[in-house]
Amino acid sequence: LAMLTARSGAVPPFQMNAMTFAIGTLVGFGWLLLRRRDGTPLAATFRQPPAVWGLGIVGLFGYHALYFAALRNAPAAEASLIAYLWPLLIVLGSAMLPGERLRWYHLAGAVLGLGGAALIILGKGDAGFSGDYALGYGLAALCAVFWSAYSLLSRRFGTVPSEIVTGFCAATAALSLVAHLAFETTVWPAGAGQWGAVVLLGLLPVGAAFYVWDHGVKHGDIQLLGAASYAAPLLSTLVLVLAGEAEITGAVVGAAVLITAGAALAALPLFKRLLAARSAVS
């Protein structure tokens, strides 16, 4: 995500949102058209209760709008770190979901992951929290609350197919276009390289990733997903290193250790099940 964003030029945030979510919508429609071969009615996917639509649109658009607003009102390092509290909030909030129990290793894994993410984010520059940026910090905190709430509440709609994200992406693209026209000046990508980066953003991090995430939070181990999500800034930094746009530092190595340890700790029950299954086969 970081590398593609860096290579997409000077496109304003809401314009980028509108473009990439429009592409993400096409990803969903492509999948829906493939599904029609098995006789599934296309319109049936979108006949969902208002609560489903409200959750999805507020979750996707609200998260991004708050994040962009936070970056306008606070330094990027501090705002990003506060916004990245959402995996920890998912782990904590999972205790309120039916059939879920919060264990010590889930919480410890999420805290280790947060520590690793902090090393990555704060290691990118001088960071110091200041009361002058209280508005930006508050918006970043709301950003974390929005995404964690969207993820947790999505589990309550487990019977809703993940293809519904197609509609969420379309609505987010439309709302982002309105915000862009209201608050930004249009800047188009320059050249094939920048256009290619925008298309890849729409196909993968802003496209397929949201469909996969929806399926994961509805049907997967949500505590493990929350803790493992702290790998995102690490993976993003490693991609920049491989592309020659960043260097391996002590902060990156330390973050790798903390995030890997946190994810492994949160996955403790999974490892136990695998060992038990292996013992049973033996």
Give the pLDDT score at 37: 61
With CA atoms as reference, report the closest residue to 170 among 44, 25, 19: 25
Interatomic CA distance for residues 192 and 199, integer angstroms: 10
Q: pLDDT digit string (tens) for 68-113? A: 888 888 887 778 878 888 988 988 888 888 887 888 888 888 898 8
Q: Where are the domains of the chain?
A: 2-110+130-223
On the question of pLDDT at 27 being above 90, the answer is yes
Give the pLDDT score at 100: 79
Q: Which two tokens stand for residue 101?
A: 């129990």
With CA atoms as reference, report the closest residue to 90 among 76, 79, 102: 102
Interatomic CA distance for residues 41 and 27, integer angstroms: 18
- 166 falls in which pLDDT band (50, 70, 90)? very high
Q: pLDDT digit string (tens) for 129-160? A: 677 888 988 998 999 999 999 999 999 999 99
Q: Which residues contact 275 (CB under 8 A, 6 or more apart)?
A: none
Give the pLDDT score at 173: 97
Element (H, E) at 56: helix 50-73
Interatomic CA distance for residues 59 and 15, integer angstroms: 18
C-beta separation of 11 from 189 below 8 A:
yes
Give the pLDDT score at 2: 60
Give the pLDDT score at 191: 93
Residue 253, amino acid? V
On the question of pLDDT at 193 being above 80, the answer is yes
Q: Which two tokens stand for residue 16?
A: 């980028």
Q: At what angle do helices 50-73 and 76-83 cross, to 10 degrees?
A: 150
Interatomic CA distance for residues 197 and 80, integer angstroms: 22
Sign of the torsion formed by the C-alpha atoms of 263, 136, 202 and 157: positive
Question: Of the spans 147-161, 232-246, 259-273, which averages the highest pLDDT?
Answer: 147-161
Give the pLDDT score at 263: 82
With CA atoms as reference, report the closest residue to 145 among 56, 59, 53: 59
- The model's pTM is 0.85
Question: Of the spans 37-41, 48-52, 203-207, which averages the highest pLDDT?
Answer: 48-52
Q: What is the b/e burial string over 225-250, where b = at least 16 CB atoms within 10 angstroms of the residue's CB? A: bbbbbbbbbbebbbebeeeeebeeee
- 127 falls in which pLDDT band (50, 70, 90)? low
On the question of pLDDT at 38 being above 70, the answer is no
Our CA dihedral for 192, 198, 204, 206, rounded to 10 degrees, sits at: -170
- 40 falls in which pLDDT band (50, 70, 90)? low
Interatomic CA distance for residues 24 and 44, integer angstroms: 20
Give the pLDDT score at 231: 84
Average confidence score pLDDT of the chain: 87
Question: Of the spans 100-109, 122-131, 165-174, 250-259, which averages the highest pLDDT?
Answer: 165-174
- 237 falls in which pLDDT band (50, 70, 90)? confident
With CA atoms as reference, report the closest residue to 11 among 167, 163, 165, 189: 189
Give the pLDDT score at 1: 66
Q: Looking at 28-42, 152-166, 221-235, which range is the least confident one?
A: 28-42
Give the pLDDT score at 151: 95
Strands (E), 109-179: none
On the question of pLDDT at 170 being above 70, the answer is yes
Half-sphere exposure (Cβ direction) of 150: Cα atoms closer than 13 Å? 25
| pLDDT, average across residues 15-34 | 93
Provide the percentage of residues in the chain whose pLDDT is more than 90: 41
